[in-house]
């Protein structure tokens, strides 16, 4: 497993500045959160890639700024908009290619607006997944509070319907926020987890820097190991969840400690 961080941790700092700041702190493995259309332009993406290459950094995943609109763009009852949405998402897949990322994070369909049935959602996800595959990118459904993916039963149904052609992003804070045990969400996703957003929590907060709350990380990492997970573990919190950016280094050390723990356990 490889520890990393999302550029979203420093939002609303401009993406290029957040990227450089995190690199200066010692991070070398990233999820890049695209915040607006101009950040999908070729020249801009290539400048980010140069920054990554010059520092020896890698970008594992890209998070679209349209995640909150996917219910409207991709999963509404208006089929033509879905087709146009696929064309727009090609820009994200191209961004992944330029940055060297292999995963695109998907939020999907909101619980409050189910304009299409589960079966049609799965069909559209499969179309998006197949399109991403043409670019060498895996479209991974994240568990997100207030979205259908908040429910482990929905995740299990998605696995059953999509078979090998699906993947998941496990986000600890989103599970906690939705009242779901993160370990149960892991179980629902099973061996199809391809990416992890890690954070901590306590009785008074559902999102904290790793190591600042009460989560049993030894148990969590063991669950991931039992599922055969060997991907990235990205720190993802909100800017309000910490003070100085230097505090992120302590979280990095916490995550790296447990990554090393599993490596040691394997030997």
**Res 267 pLDDT > 70:** no
Q: What is the CATH number of the domain that holds 196?
A: 3.20.20.150
What would the pLDDT profile of 104-127 be if each residue is shown by its tens digit?
Answer: 999 999 987 778 999 999 999 999
- Mean per-residue pLDDT, 131-158: 97
pLDDT for 197 equals 98
User: How much is the mean pLDDT over the chain?
Assistant: 95
What average pLDDT does range 78-88 have in this prediction?
Answer: 97
pLDDT of residue 21 exceeding 70, the answer is: yes
Looking at residue 114, what is its pLDDT? 79
Say what the pLDDT of residue 162 is. Answer: 98
161-193 pLDDT, tens digit each: 999 999 999 999 999 999 999 999 999 999 999
pLDDT at residue 262 tops 80 = no
Q: Which two tokens stand for residue 31?
A: 């999820």
Q: Note down the domain range covering 203.
A: 2-266
Cβ–Cβ under 8 Å, residues 187 and 151: no
The pLDDT value given to residue 259: 87
Q: How many domains does the chain have?
A: 1
Rounded Cα gap, residues 230 and 77, in angstroms: 37
Alpha helices in 7-78, H assignment, sequence order: 15-25, 42-55, 70-73
Per-residue pLDDT tens over the stretch 204-251: 999 999 999 999 999 999 999 999 999 999 999 999 999 999 999 999
pLDDT of residue 129: 98
Q: What is the pLDDT of residue 153?
A: 97
Contact 106, 128 (CB under 8 A): yes
State yes or no: cis peptide before 104, omega within 30 of 0: no
Q: What is the pLDDT of residue 264?
A: 62
> In percent, how much of the chain has pLDDT > 70?
97
Q: Judge if the upstream peptide bond of residue 64 is cis by omega within 30 degrees of 0.
A: no
| CB < 8 Å & 24+ apart, contacts of 112-120 | 112/146, 113/71, 113/76, 114/148, 115/71, 115/75, 115/76, 115/77, 116/75, 116/76, 116/77, 118/148, 118/154, 118/157, 118/161, 119/161
């Amino acid at each position: 497993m490889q520890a990393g961080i999302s550029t979203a941790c420093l939002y609303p700092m401009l993406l290029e500045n957040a990227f450089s700041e995190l690199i200066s702190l010692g991070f070398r493995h990233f999820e890049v959160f695209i915040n607006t259309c101009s950040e999908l332009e070729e020249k801009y993406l290539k400048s980010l890639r140069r920054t990554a290459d010059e520092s020896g950094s890698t970008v594992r995943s890209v998070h679209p700024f349209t995640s909150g609109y996917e219910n409207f763009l991709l999963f509404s009852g208006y089929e033509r908009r879905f087709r146009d949405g696929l064309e727009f998402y090609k820009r994200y897949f191209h961004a992944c290619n330029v940055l060297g990322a292999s995963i695109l994070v998907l939020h999907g369909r909101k619980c409050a607006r189910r304009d299409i049935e589960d079966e049609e959602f799965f069909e559209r996800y499969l179309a998006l997944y197949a399109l991403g595959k043409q670019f060498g990118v895996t479209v991974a459904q994240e568990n997100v509070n207030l979205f259908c993916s908040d429910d482990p039963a929905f995740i299990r149904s998605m696995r059953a319907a999509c078979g090998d052609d699906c993947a998941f992003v496990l986000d600890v804070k989103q599970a906690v926020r939705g009242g779901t045990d993160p370990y149960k969400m892991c179980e629902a996703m099973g061996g199809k987890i391809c990416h992890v957003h890690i954070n901590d929590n306590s009785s008074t907060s559902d999102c904290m820097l790793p190591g600042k709350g009460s989560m049993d990380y030894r148990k969590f990492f063991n669950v991931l190991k039992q599922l055969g997970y060997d991907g990235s573990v990205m720190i993802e919190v909100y800017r309000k969840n910490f003070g100085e950016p230097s505090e992120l280094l302590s979280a990095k050390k916490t995550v790296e400690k447990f990554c090393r723990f599993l490596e040691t356990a394997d030997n």
